[in-house]
Amino acid sequence: MSVVANPAAGVPYQFPMKDVRENFPAPLLYIGWEDHLMFCSPVCVPLPPEMPFGALVSQVLPGIYAEHPDFERIDWNTVQWFKSGKPWTPDPAASLAANGLGHKDVIRFRTPGLSGINGSCS
């Protein structure tokens, strides 16, 4: 029996969720670059919902990933996007919110032909 949800305990167990949207100045977005594990894990960034998706690519991603030698070789026209692991086509002119990105969504991008340091997915 789960301690916190045990009706036999006879005590309501209700506490606020710590990471709801209202607790942050801006919604969080998680971003991962497939096959480039020199960046050890996906990252977490707060981004204004009105930011155009194109600005995420041109303004935000370089600050995160430009140190990787593959980054400047990316052909953004061929990049494949995933939202919650499923293929997804964002509209660069539309805002993050209009693209359906909400608080704590996770997106990933794959850069075909680029597979990290010496092809090691690093």
Partner 1 sequence: MDTRVAKKKLGLKERYAAMTRGLGWETTYQPMDKVFPYDTYEGIKIHDWDKWQDPFRLTMDAYWKYQGEKEKKLYAVIEAFAQNNGQLGVSDARYINALKLFLQGVTPLEYCAHRGFAHVGRQFTGEGARVAAQMQSIDELRHYQTETHAISHYNKYFNGLHRSHHWFDRVWYLSVPKSFFEDACTAGPFEFLTAVSFSFEYVLTNLLFVPFMSGAAHNGDMSTVTFGFSAQSDESRHMTLGIECIKFMLEQDPGNVPIVQRWIDKWFWRGYRLLTIVAMMQDYMLPKRVMSWKEAWEMYAEGSGGALFKDLARYGIREPRGWKDACEGKDHISHQAWATFYNYGAAAPFHTWIPQDGEMQWLSQKYPESFDKLYRPRFEYWRERADEGRRFYNKTLPMLCTTCQVPMFFTEPGDATKICYRETSYFGNKYHFCSDHCQHIFEDEPEKYVQSWLPVHQIYQGHCFPEGTDPTAEGFDPLTAVLQYYEMNIGRDNFDFEGSEDQKNFAAWTGEKA
For partner 1, the binding residues in 88-117 under the rule CB under 8 A are 102-106, 108, 116-117
CB of 64 to partner 1, least distance (A): 5
Binding mask 5-44 for partner 1 (x = CB under 8 A): xx-xx---xxxxxxxx--xxx--x-x-x-xx-xxxxxxxx
Residues 28, 103 contacting (CB under 8 angstroms): yes
Structure tokens at 46: 């707060």
Binders of partner 1 among residues 64 to 83 (CB under 8 A) are 64, 67
Quick one: 77 or 84, whose CB is closer to partner 1?
84
How many other C-beta atoms can be found within 10 angstroms of the C-beta atom of residue 69? 11
Tokens 């704590």 correspond to 104
Pairing type for strands 80-83 and 86-88 reads: antiparallel
